[in-house]
């Protein structure tokens, strides 16, 4: 190989690495969605050979994907059993949602009022997308736009570390929320809650926003606990 070929070889290597990373992230997103929407249920086995065949990947890559899902709180590994979709006990759900409530209510207390008009309009624009997804009965879009709504809301606190912890805790709750994300009644309630939060921002009513954020968390945890008790 002459020297003129070296940049091309390096570029091809970088392209392959980028493509592989993209495939890994896509596989993670696919399995995340499967868990979020109940296609993969709590305590369900994630078999490496099946995942290799499904995604056309090598074993070490599949193990990397499972490790990432474990870090996200969506998968747990048990000795002599392997990887399972995360399953929470009632006490663990209560603990997780207590943490979420502490983080989220404290975050909105840090929002400086009044909110800048352009930031408020950005949140309203996101919520209109959420309205459309709920009206169209599209839970997948509603789920992603819901995440965007809360990310924009909590970003108003200007506390990036706190919002990072909120995102992590919300991600860990995906398994818990799987019972409500496809339910039209729950989706409609979430949609109305969002508009009430926007109204509280407009009125500069921090305490009302705190109460709304607290109540907004309850339906998913209550639904999971009820289902757990029936098992």
Out of 10-19, 34-43, 172-181, 185-194, which region has the weakest mean confidence (pLDDT)? 10-19
Residue 111, phi then psi, degrees to nearest 5: -70, 125
Q: Which pLDDT value is given to residue 80?
A: 82
215-228 residue pLDDT tens: 999 999 999 899 88
Q: Is pLDDT above 70 for 13?
A: no
Model's pTM, two decimal places? 0.83
Residue that the structure tokens 């757990």 belong to: 228
Crossing angle for the helix pair 90-109 and 206-230, nearest 10 degrees?
Answer: 170
Q: Is pLDDT above 60 for 133?
A: yes
Domains of the chain, first to last: 3-85 (1.10.10.10), 90-230 (1.20.120.530)
Out of 2-11, 44-53, 76-85, which region has the weakest mean confidence (pLDDT)? 2-11
């Amino acid at each position: 190989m002459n020297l003129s070929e070296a940049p091309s070889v390096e570029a091809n290597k970088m392209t392959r690495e980028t493509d592989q990373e993209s495939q890994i992230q896509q596989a993670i997103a696919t399995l995340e969605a499967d868990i979020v929407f109940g296609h993969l249920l709590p305590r369900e086995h994630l078999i490496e050979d099946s995942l290799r065949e499904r995604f056309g990947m090598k074993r070490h890559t599949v193990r990397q994907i499972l490790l990432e899902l474990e870090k996200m709180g969506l998968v747990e590994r048990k000795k002599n059993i392997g990887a399972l979709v995360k399953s929470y006990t009632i006490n663990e759900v209560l603990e997780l949602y207590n943490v979420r409530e502490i983080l989220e209510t404290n975050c909105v207390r840090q929002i400086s009022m009044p909110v800048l008009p352009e930031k408020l309009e950005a949140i309203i624009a996101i919520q209109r997308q959420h309205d459309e997804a709920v009206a169209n009965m599209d839970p997948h879009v509603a789920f992603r736009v819901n995440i965007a709504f809360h990310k924009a809301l909590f970003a108003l606190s200007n506390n990036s570390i706190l919002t990072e912890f909120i995102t992590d805790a919300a991600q860990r709750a995906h398994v818990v929320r799987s019972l409500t994300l496809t339910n039209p009644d729950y989706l409609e309630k979430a949609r109305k809650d969002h508009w009430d939060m926007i109204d509280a921002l407009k009125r500069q009513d921090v305490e009302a926003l705190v109460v709304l954020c607290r109540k907004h968390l309850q339906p998913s945890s209550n639904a999971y606990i009820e289902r757990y008790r029936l098992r």
